[in-house]
Amino acid sequence: MSKFNALSNIGTFALVCLISLFLTTFSPAHCEDSIDAPPGVGSEAIASFNQGIGLSNAKNYSEAMPKFQEACRQAPGFAEAHAMYGLCLLKLLRAKESIDESAKAYAIDPKLDFVLVNLGSANQMIGHIEEAEMYLQKYLDLYPKGEFAGKATSMIATLQKEIKLRKIVESSKGKDNYLSEATAPGKACWDQLRMPIPVFIQSGDGVKGYQAEYLGILKDAFNQWCTGSGGRIKISFVDKADPLGINCSFIDNPSELVNPMEGGQALISIRDADGVIQKGQIKLLTTNSSFGTGHEKEVLLNICLHEVGHALGIRGHSSQAGDVMFGFMSSPPNLTLSDRDEKTIQQLYSSDQEIGRQ
């Protein structure tokens, strides 16, 4: 008897969503077209800031960023300018720099509550998940009924799961692979005697936000894993869905995901007795609001690589930010498999592994 199991892909795309769901403060829904001069801030700094606001309202973060940067230069004590500069850096996936600016903003004005969730998001991106949890918890402690309280609570739960898993699984830090972490939820892999694995990708035509290039991005993700496996994994792209293959689709409705806060999901059906994967399913969300920042393709490739890794049997997460299977999206996104990703999939499908050998 088989059972359909959701992989533990709670991380990468939780980060994408933390950006897209939390970092809406000072976006069109929350921000006026301009602000009056705060005490001690000159008119030139205000003019630069207001120009940045107009650009950020239009989601043109790459052009808005230097406007806020100039406002910070003209008025170093301008907390809102530092906050918006940090926001633009985060939107452009420059997390470490975002942390610096957001920390400056919060030090100047601790009443800028949304900066706490920005700091949580940025720390999550660079793998500092304990710090991320701390900032989000601080937000909840100070603003239990705040605008982002519900989402912060959900994100903290996700972070705590990852922290708990890290404590009970042998760390892969300093090792050339993370097999122990990858197989912590249970071992699983495809039977090599059934390869190539049929992979069907449903057309994304008509799906909101879908672009023709996305098909090639997903195929690239599969091909990278095949190459990285050293030939141990083989796939074949097919023209129709296969009941014993991996079936992929692009979707625009987050409610179709097990966790609507994520940017994608991979599900596999595992034979209970020996962990052989019977079939797989991948769904990729095309309406993630972190798209529109000029980094859609990079973000999607990272998501595709991560979900394909799950579908091929890496059920757990790496604890290291440089790996595609890291629990959260790295800054910048990983666009190729790391050496550790490759060695892990090779170990999973090595001859001394008994899973999937018939």
The mean per-residue pLDDT over the stretch 135-158 comes to: 89
Residue 23, helix vs strand vs coil: coil
Contacts of 93 (CB under 8 A, 6+ apart): 125, 293, 295, 298, 299, 331, 332, 333
Q: Are residues 276 and 325 in the same domain?
A: yes
pLDDT for residue 358 is more than 60: no
Q: Is residue 339 part of a domain?
A: yes
Which CATH number fits the domain that encloses residue 141? 1.25.40.10
Q: Is residue 217 part of a domain?
A: yes
Among 168, 201, 228, which residue terminates a domain? Answer: 168
Among 138, 168, 198, which residue terminates a domain? Answer: 168
Q: Are residues 110 and 84 in the same domain?
A: yes
Whole-angstrom Cα distance, residue 116 to residue 122? 10
At 339, the amino acid letter reads: D
Phi, psi for residue 31 in degrees, rounded to 5? -120, 135
Which CATH number fits the domain that encloses residue 266? 3.40.390.10
Q: Are residues 198 and 248 in the same domain?
A: yes
pLDDT given at position 247: 98
pLDDT for residue 23 is more than 80: no
Of residues 3 and 196, more confidence is placed in 196
Q: Is residue 158 part of a domain?
A: yes
List, for residues 292-324, the tens digit of each pLDDT value: 556 788 889 999 999 999 999 999 889 888 899
Among 150, 168, 186, which residue terminates a domain? Answer: 168
As a whole number, the mean pLDDT across the chain is: 83
Number of domains in the chain: 2
Whole-angstrom Cα distance, residue 317 to residue 344? 11
- Sole residue written with tokens 């023709």: 212
Task: Record the tokens describing residue 177, joined without a space.
Answer: 């692979």
List, for residues 153-163, the tens digit of each pLDDT value: 888 888 887 78
List, for residues 244-273, the tens digit of each pLDDT value: 999 999 999 988 988 766 789 999 998 766
Domain of 334?
2-10+178-348
